[in-house]
Amino acid sequence: MKKTSSLATGLLLLLSLYSCKKTENLTETETSKIKNAIAVTESLGGSSLNVGLGGNAYTAGTGGLINDTGLHNWTSASTITSVWFRLGLTGSLTVAVKGTVPSGSSNIKVTINGTVFNKTITGTTATTTTIGTVNITAAGYVRVDIQGVSKTGSYYGDISDLVISGPAVASNVQYANTVADYYWSRRGPSCHLNYTVPSGTEWFYSELNVPSGEDKIGSYFMADGFSGGYFGMQVNSATERRVLFSVWDPSTGSTTLVRKGSDITSNGFGGEGTGGQSYLLFNWVAGTTYKFLLRGKPDGAGGSDYTAWFYAPENGTWKIIAQWKRPNTTAYLTGMYSFIENFNPDQGYLQRSCNYGNQWYKTSSGNWTEVTNASFSYDATASAEQRMDYQGGVTGNNFYLKNGGFFATYTAYGTALNRSATGIAPSVNLSTLP
């Protein structure tokens, strides 16, 4: 966790601005500014710290609501509210809860890293109640579960913070502490694989395989990203999944649709930038390998065309998603990358991961060349240490990315990754693509 000076505060504001583009690849200038923001901060620690539930807690069950000020509408004994914070030190940790009850008293059960404490909370004005002390034996995230047992009032209470103290919080503590960015913190960090391709790259091919159980709602597993857009697959709800291809608007002008495949929905998008969006409703299956092919080239009239195709083994053929024209852009494919993210702030406590493999590029006049090197990066949520559960690495012949779930080990920004070559070039006839 970072304690900010006045200079650092301004730079963290800069980070929050970049987080509005968290699915877009950062430029070298933006990356440099993020690194500078980290460099001018100092670690937070001390005798006690307040961990706001608004940015660090999630509820399971009905009868409880988390907003920026904490836990409210806590009416059900079946509701479990889980709070996470990360400690870099070992030793004694004491946890207290800060909040109010509507009247009388409430008996609650609080579990700290598996150790159960039963306490009574009282007070119609903000009151801090000590829960208990545990020993932290390894660096990593601490989980605190809060559950109602009995109450005399109409609901259990309103809890705003955990108050943590002891030797384990003396320094190197991380949790979401920027209220304005709680939305992003609750989504969790996104992280990326950055590939190097030569100028004149017209084609980029890669494969995705999401391990069984890692396909959580809110996931976007992006395969083929470039400086103007991205292409991958999502879990939109318990019943809907998409293959999505989006192209950003340039600084001047608007991206327009040239053509699209059958059963493809196309429209504009906003929120995290603007541009053209196209997607296929397709219930892809975890554990299955899917193929993604992207083409980008200048149109000779001051713009560039970007086209995406998707191959599902269930269907056995390449399907065009869409072709988009980006005006005032004369470029082949540049800034190639992949990413993993969660776009649902209520699902940020769940771990998700994806294997990214068999990346190849082809220039306008060359042959297919395999890409076996990548560098790891992450977004502003991770840079500001609001969340530390991000990771990238190599497994077999694949790169992998993982985020969410509050796991202990994270990967350093800029880590160089190298996977073994497959030697299996894309088996696709480019001249007969739809």
The token pair that represents 203 in the structure block: 């084609």
Question: What's the angle, vertex CA 69, arms to CA 120 and CA 95, rounded to 5?
Answer: 40
Structural fold of domain 184-432 = Jelly Rolls (2.60.120)
In angstroms, the Cα distances linking 249 to 261, 276, 327 are 21, 7, 8
Q: What DSSP character marks residue 123?
A: -
Q: Which CATH class is domain 48-176?
A: mainly beta
pLDDT digits (tens, 9 = 90+) for 33-84: 555 544 443 457 889 999 999 999 999 888 899 999 999 999 999 999 999 9
Q: What are phi and psi of 183, to 5 degrees?
A: -55, -45
pLDDT at 430 over 80: yes
The token pair that represents 12 in the structure block: 């963290």
What is the per-residue pLDDT for 61? Answer: 80
Can you tell me the distance from the alpha carbon of 161 to that of 417, in angstroms, rounded to the nearest whole number? 39
pLDDT digits (tens, 9 = 90+) for 205-260: 999 999 999 999 999 999 999 999 999 999 999 999 999 999 999 999 999 999 99
Q: 376 and 419 in contact (C-beta within 8 Å)?
A: no
Q: 191 and 67 in contact (C-beta within 8 Å)?
A: no
Question: What's the angle, vertex CA 224, arms to CA 220 and CA 230, rounded to 5?
Answer: 60
pLDDT at 5 over 90: no
pLDDT digits (tens, 9 = 90+) for 143-154: 999 999 999 999
Q: What DSSP character marks residue 262?
A: T
What is the per-residue pLDDT for 45? Answer: 81
Can you tell me the distance from the alpha carbon of 417 to that of 222, in angstroms, rounded to the nearest whole number? 18
Per domain, the residue ranges of the chain are 2-43, 48-176, 184-432
Half-sphere CA count of 101, side-chain side, radius 13 A: 21
Burial-class residue 317 by CB neighbours within 10 Å (0-12, 13-18, 19+).
exposed
Q: CB under 8 Å to 6, separation ≥6 — which residues?
A: none
Q: In the beta sheet, which residues pair with residue 371?
A: 359
pLDDT at 203 over 80: yes
Q: CB under 8 Å to 252, separation ≥6 — which residues?
A: 327, 328
